[in-house]
Structure 1
Amino acid sequence: MQKAEFLTRFHSAPPLQPVPDHPLRKSGRSAAVLIPVVTHDNALSVLFTERAKHLKHHPGQVSFPGGKYEPGDPDLAFTAKREAWEEIALPDSHIAIVGQLPPYRTISGFAMTAFVATVEPGFDLIPDGNEVSDTFEVPLSFLIDPRNYQTEYITRAGHTYPVYFIPWQNKMIWGATAALMNSLASIFTDNA
């Protein structure tokens, strides 16, 4: 799939339904992530980060660049781009936000907004070792194929929720990151 087809399919899709998430007693702390779809000459890929192993929360887990909303941020799209710069030096000049997914609440108490963006190559990623240990890309064609997802179910407070897993080479994409990717992939499943 090329960039033009991706954009057409993304913008012409019916509104996405919210992904089943965790009920929060409070509204949740605002956070934002960027789903960076990198536009290579021959195909698209999605850029992921691997969190530093020394972190207190979610060490070593695969994630999208992002983090919590700061009072100086004008909006959540700014938060996502600011965090992408801070975590992996993804320059704003290479990012074009094309839309967002429905809000997703995490078990760790965040109300997260995921911004889908196309990213033009031509820069060097520099992971901030305090937050990120690695970056890697996965072909979009792999991520939109439902056969590449595994689902387990957990029950909390009498409600059952899906937990998605996407094995990729020696990495495991799971939890909120896989749920958001699954939501985005649902737009393209008839092409898988």
Structure 2
Amino acid sequence: MKAEADLYDRISAALTRAAEPSSDFDLNGDAHLLANAKTRPAGVLCALQEVDGTPQVILTKRSSRLKHHPGQIAFPGGKVDPGDADAVAAALREAHEEIGLPPEAVEVLGCLPSHRTVTAFQVTPVVARITRPFTVVPEPGEVEEVFRVPLSHLLETANYSIQSRRWQKQRRHYFTVPYGPYYIWGATARMLRVLAEVLEP
């Protein structure tokens, strides 16, 4: 239990340290395009859960039927709605809707620097620990699968690589951090990479 407490204390302390915001433009030399771009606020939840004594991060595979980002790996989360107090509230609400995680079972540890997506969202990644067991209930039609990845895998920067593909007639580069059958890439991998950097000794 002491090791567990030390880990979360270290994460909380690390999240208070200043760091630069990230974006989908970081690897593509076109960050200047962000200067006057309008964005929509969003929040995602990087939820840590102890499984057999091992901290794991909960991720989702989006439904292949969705219009936007079908089949991609993502954190639970979404845009800030008018009824949300802030991006943290949005992340908690969306996690409840998408995977059945009750807000009262979550202890927020802090937030990573915001991440700007190529689809014009300004995303706040909320890092939290799950404090009690809950039953995973994937949201029908939106979440195809809920799975977990060991935090240790995601904190090892050697597990990340930079790859590319063509998007809107341009070649775009992005981070990936594969795990088993799951191809974690794009904004999700970029935010996880920032977490790994923040927690580097």
The two structures have a TM-score, normalised by structure 1, of 0.88
Q: Distance in 2 between matches of 1:2 and 1:169?
A: 27
Q: In structure 1, which of residues 12, 19, 23 is the aligned counterpart of residue 22 of structure 2? A: 19
Matched, 1:120 2:134: no
**Secondary structure, counterpart of 1:46 in structure 2:** strand
Q: Distance in 1 between matches of 2:98 and 2:3?
A: 27
> For residues 1-192 of structure 1, what are the structure 2 equivalents within 5 Å?
2-13=3-14, 14-22=17-25, 23-24=33-34, 25-152=36-163, 163-190=174-201
Tell me if the contact between 1:50 and 1:135 (Cα under 8 Å) persists in the aligned partners: yes
**Secondary structure, counterpart of 1:59 in structure 2:** coil
Q: Which amino acid aligns with 1:123?
A: F
Higher mean displacement: 85-94 or 34-43: 34-43
Identity %: 37
Deviation at 1:171, TM superposition (A): 0.7
The two structures have a TM-score, normalised by structure 2, of 0.85
Tell me if the contact between 2:23 and 2:117 (Cα under 8 Å) persists in the aligned partners: no
Q: Distance in 2 between matches of 1:122 and 1:136?
A: 15
Gaps of 5+ in 1: none
Deviation at 1:21, TM superposition (A): 3.7
Gaps of 5+ in 2: 26-32
Tell me if the contact between 1:66 and 1:80 (Cα under 8 Å) persists in the aligned partners: yes
Q: Distance in 1 between matches of 2:172 and 2:111?
A: 22
1:55–1:82: structure 2 CA closer, same or farther, 3 Å change rule? same
Q: Distance in 1 between matches of 2:140 and 2:93?
A: 16
Deviation at 1:173, TM superposition (A): 0.5
Tell me if the contact between 2:40 and 2:122 (Cα under 8 Å) persists in the aligned partners: yes
1:161–1:61: structure 2 CA closer, same or farther, 3 Å change rule? closer
Aligned residue pairs total: 187
Deviation at 1:143, TM superposition (A): 0.7
Q: CA RMSD for the aligned pairs? A: 2.3
1:102-127 per-residue CA deviation (whole Å, 9 max, x = no partner) reads: 11110011111110000134111010
Q: Which amino acid aligns with 1:129?
A: P
